[in-house]
Amino acid sequence: MKELWEVIGEFVNANNIALLSVGVTVLIFVFSRRAELKYKKHDDKKHQYLKLISLLEEIFMSYKKDKKGNLIITDNLKKRFFDVGASLLMYGSKKLYRQYLFYREFATNPLVLQSKYYEENLIIYIMADILVTMRKEVGLSVFNTLEANEALGFFVNDITGNPIAKEKAYKAKFKIRMIKFELGMINRTKFIFVKYIFYRVMKPIFACVFIILKYILIVPFGRLLIKIFPSLAE
């Protein structure tokens, strides 16, 4: 016990205390800086998400459709889509960004349009999923979540407490899940994952081996043949 106190006494001196103080100060600075950056990123995220809400509101309330019911894509709308997409790519989560992409392709992807579960009005429930995800990502608790019909309450009248509207929302969520599942199955039947592995792993290996052989064997051997048989150069 006495030896232990002697070791502690030798360690606790002015130099070590000063060094410890410097270390604690550095740690406090690092953690406070990380907290500051996290808060700034969170604040920027909320600002970018408001852009998406504004775009969805304009599409739902203002933009016109052609005779076939398709949204008329003006130059201004294209610019807004690009601006919002770029913001979500930089600040949004993977889940929200993919929901936005699915929202964009829902009315144009022929695989979606051919699905037996496709209905044009499902797009407003995809919008609801986006709104619910944004609520979670700006800091609200997972226990403070909303249903799809509640998220659409400020867009559509008489949809929050109406039991018929609730049933439609549940049915729409089911159909959206089935469309996504069908798209996933199409990817599997087209061997997309196998192709991913091939181009990500196998093809680079073969390409690297070929390049190595080219510059270690083929090119030097070709130069040697040209020196031995100059006529081959012609």
- Average pLDDT (18-41) is 63
Q: Is the pLDDT of residue 225 over 80?
A: no
Contact by Cβ (8 Å): 45, 138: yes
User: What is the residue whose two structure tokens read 């604040």?
Assistant: 43
Tokens at 71, concatenated: 């949204």
Residue 123 φ/ψ, nearest 5 degrees: -65, -30
Q: Where are the domains of the chain?
A: 119-190, 192-234
From CA 218, how far away is CA 145, in angstroms rounded? Answer: 64
Span 130-181, pLDDT tens digits:
888 887 777 665 556 666 667 776 666 656 667 777 788 888 889 999 999 9
Residue 49: what pLDDT? 80
CB-count burial class (<10 Å; 0-12, 13-18, 19+) for 152: buried
